Amino acid sequence: MTYAAFYQQSIQEPATFWDQEAKLIDWKEPYTQVLDYSRPPFAKWFVGGQTNLCYNAVDRWLATQADKAALIAISTETNTENVYSFAELDREVQRMAAIMLGLGVVQGDRVLIYMPMVAEAAFAMLACARIGAVHSVVFGGFASKSLATRIDDAKPVLIVSADAGMRGGKAVPYKPLLDEAITLAQHKPAKVLLIDRGLDPMPLVAGRDVAYATLREQHLDAKVPVTWLESNAISYILYTSGTTGNPKGVQRDVGGYAVALASSMKHIFGGNPGETYFATSDIGWVVGHSYIVYGPLIAGMATIMYEGTPIRPDAGIWWSIVEKYKVTRMFSAPTAIRVLKKHPSELMKKYDLSSLKALYLAGEPLDETTSSWISGELGVPIIDNYWQTETGWPILSVARGIENTATRLGSPGVAMYGYKVSIINENTGAECAANEKGVLAIQGPLPPGCLQTVYGDDQRFVQTYWSNFAHEQLYSTFDWGIKDADGYYFILGRTDDVINVAGHRLGTREIEESISSHPQISEVAVVGVEDKLKGQVAVAFAILKHPEMVVSEEGRRALEAEVMAVVDKQLGAVARPSRVHFVAMLPKTRSGKLLRRSIQAICEGRDAGDLTTIEDPASLLQIKAAVIA
């Protein structure tokens, strides 16, 4: 079957299509209805069916590959590696589940997980799924105030945490941040379960805090049966990054999510039982949920959890892991690849990477230079993909499991099956013509695996995502995009990061792409800065490929003029930045996303906001120094 035919069936006959895909997972009780869309935009998938995420990720593989690797936990921070077979993972998850039950957790209760990238974090997620509890993972090391808002929203009966994480060889204490967050929060969890890694002193609060190691010893032989859940029960809540004010919890179901992951692992990510998958993200983000913990295990693959950076002890560390564990599919972010590009290629070439079949990149637009470089170095397909916390799996990509669809530089791909994607003119609500810029939108119902609602706030779900176009109820991704004549989509940046210069609306991504085409520019971030005359002006911060060649102020001014001329030529004078500042680094989160709003705040003399997840605080000092100069 061609991908075009596969896609059309998913759009025209969704019930028939997803009924077939649902056979990829195990059901305790069959569903009575594939789709209930009687109350748009709320969709219910596989109504009446009973299943369980933990069962599909662990239990169902015990009969055929109990002794094969399931979870490979590697920390280059603590120099530890632990490999858990499916049988061993099953035992650890049952122990964790027994601990949770003993601490009073029951079906439907929320459990907040505030953890580093250690095996126990995966045990906790899977244990919640096993007993029907709802987990909410918060990125480890998140600031106390932000953590407190999530505690108040989710109202967990239990928090699972640790003494500390590690980053760049330094301990990042979690317990003090957690204690302060609980103090700030109005909701007080009954219990806090703590993993002691021996990285930071961790005094326990009497009556509330309990030690994991002690309770684990008490439950070594625990047997906890699977709690079978109706397909539309809540599996987890994941708060979107960058949320201000009241946090926005993406609520996911059980059955639809399991089917979507099993389907995407087969058709998009090409995973097979017995192979090894390596996603370099964090469990605090959606990639970690979908493609570190649940997706690969549901596909019967070994999955790697990695604590560390891509360049410690050296820039060959990831490739040594690929060789050692015969990784077949790898998932990372363009930022990480750009970091590796700065280091000698010999660190990659010294390892046998013949097991690797493809590298998938997501999280930000993939530029042509980065894509071409890593493709040349690895000699495997580089597959871009675009999606969101809200969708849980790719909206745009290529499904090589169906047909060997060509990729296109600068594009994450075509619409994935189940997603009725269009580019909409935000003013008229009409669908845009080929190569005409508009907002990327999706017609309901969203396919299985996407968010059910905003946790505890159905009205906010409708108002935020489904009320942005005048004539039709469509899901807004809040991203600008275009679609070419062949159906390939190109993402131009967030609609809420649009720069309005003298009435002209410009996407930051368009200007960044233009500046990046200058041969001297390695990386760039563009923000809109308030201007009394024009409303906003664009300001750029660029990293040079060869900073040693531009040392004088005269040289910097000349190069700035050159860059502006490039933008003039490609986009017109209206898009020309008012300034191009040259810096050595740009502020990013640990997952590789540029902190554009923080850059903008500094330019406008405002507070830069919560910077707990920033990779290198010194980068903000550089931005400040550049602005002042």
pLDDT digits (tens, 9 = 90+) for 117-169: 999 999 999 999 999 999 999 988 788 888 999 999 999 999 999 999 998 89
State mean pLDDT over 45-71: 98
Between CA 125 and CA 110 the distance in angstroms is: 11
Are residues 90 and 11 located together in one domain of the fold?
yes
State mean pLDDT over 228-249: 82
Classify residue 398: in a domain, yes or no: yes
The residues, ordered by sequence, that sit 6+ positions from 73 with a Cβ below 8 Å of its Cβ are 80, 81, 82, 83, 84, 117, 118, 119, 122, 304, 305, 307
- 210 closest CA partner among 225, 223, 193: 193
What confidence tens digit (pLDDT) does each residue in 522-546 have?
999 999 998 876 778 999 999 999 8
State mean pLDDT over 596-608: 87
* Cα angle, residue 342 at apex, residues 338 and 344 outer, rounded to 5°: 125
pLDDT bucket at 558, cuts 50 / 70 / 90 = very high
Q: Is 457 exposed, middle or buried (0-12, 13-18, 19+ CB in 10 A)?
A: middle
Report DSSP state, residue 405. Answer: P
Are residues 418 and 502 located together in one domain of the fold?
no
Classify residue 118: in a domain, yes or no: yes
Classify residue 342: in a domain, yes or no: no
Mean pLDDT value across the chain: 93
The CA distances from residue 103 to 97, 99, 397, 420, 442, in Å, are 10, 6, 43, 44, 42
Please report the pLDDT score of residue 577 as a whole number: 94
Q: With 50 as the cut, is the pLDDT of residue 75 above it?
A: yes
Backbone angles phi, psi at 39, to 5 degrees: -130, 70
Are residues 279 and 138 located together in one domain of the fold?
yes
Which amino acid makes up residue 560?
Answer: E
Please report the pLDDT score of residue 244 as a whole number: 40
Last residue of a domain, one of 444, 465, 486: 465
Are residues 110 and 33 located together in one domain of the fold?
yes
State mean pLDDT over 412-423: 98
Q: Which residue has the higher pLDDT, 621 or 242?
A: 621
Are residues 392 and 513 located together in one domain of the fold?
no
Classify residue 582: in a domain, yes or no: yes
Q: Which residue has the higher pLDDT, 338 or 435?
A: 435
What confidence tens digit (pLDDT) does each residue in 332-385 have?
998 889 889 989 999 999 999 999 999 999 987 788 888 999 999 999 999 999
170-173 and 234-239 strand pairing: unpaired
* H/E stretch holding 592: none
Last residue of a domain, one of 465, 490, 523: 465
Question: Which CATH number is 424's domain given?
Answer: 3.40.50.12780
Are residues 36 and 122 located together in one domain of the fold?
yes
pLDDT bucket at 606, cuts 50 / 70 / 90 = confident
Q: With 50 as the cut, is the pLDDT of residue 242 above it?
A: no
249-253 and 191-195 strand pairing: unpaired
Between CA 117 and CA 140 the distance in angstroms is: 8
Please report the pLDDT score of residue 607 as a whole number: 79
Q: With 60 as the cut, is the pLDDT of residue 605 above it?
A: yes
Q: Where are the extended beta strands (E) located within 352-408?
A: 358-361, 382-384, 396-397
pLDDT bucket at 611, cuts 50 / 70 / 90 = low
What confidence tens digit (pLDDT) does each residue in 97-130 have?
999 999 999 999 999 999 999 999 999 999 999 9
Between CA 33 and CA 44 the distance in angstroms is: 9
Classify residue 371: in a domain, yes or no: no
State mean pLDDT over 306-320: 96
Report DSSP state, residue 503. Answer: T
Q: Residue 582 sits in which domain range?
A: 498-628
Classify residue 186: in a domain, yes or no: yes
CA atoms lying within 13 Å on the CB side of residue 341: 17
Please report the pLDDT score of residue 351 as a whole number: 97
State mean pLDDT over 598-626: 82
Are residues 460 and 504 located together in one domain of the fold?
no
Q: With 80 as the cut, is the pLDDT of residue 252 above it?
A: yes
State mean pLDDT over 426-439: 94
Q: With 70 as the cut, is the pLDDT of residue 292 above it?
A: yes
- Our count of domains for the chain comes to 2
Last residue of a domain, one of 446, 465, 484: 465
State mean pLDDT over 293-304: 98
Collapsing DSSP to helix, strand or coil, 437 comes out as: coil
Which range (30-44, 330-344, 404-418, 529-543) has the least confidence? Answer: 529-543
Are residues 517 and 390 located together in one domain of the fold?
no
Are residues 443 and 516 located together in one domain of the fold?
no
State percent of the chain over pLDDT 70.
97
Question: Which CATH number is 538's domain given?
Answer: 3.30.300.30
The residues, ordered by sequence, that sit 6+ positions from 162 with a Cβ below 8 Å of its Cβ are 115, 116, 118, 120, 140, 174, 175, 194, 195, 196, 197
Q: With 70 as the cut, is the pLDDT of residue 503 above it?
A: no
pLDDT bucket at 240, cuts 50 / 70 / 90 = confident
Classify residue 482: in a domain, yes or no: no
- 508 closest CA partner among 532, 529, 487: 529
Please report the pLDDT score of residue 243 as a whole number: 35
Omega prior to 445 cis, within 30 of 0: yes
Are residues 461 and 503 located together in one domain of the fold?
no
Residue with tokens 């590796």: 340
State mean pLDDT over 181-197: 98
Please report the pLDDT score of residue 614 as a whole number: 76
Are residues 576 and 450 located together in one domain of the fold?
no
DSSP β-bridge partners for residue 585: none
Between CA 319 and CA 322 the distance in angstroms is: 5
Q: Which residue has the higher pLDDT, 453 or 593?
A: 453
Under 8 Å between Cβ of 130 and 93: yes
Classify residue 563: in a domain, yes or no: yes
Between CA 250 and CA 256 the distance in angstroms is: 14
Are residues 51 and 125 located together in one domain of the fold?
yes
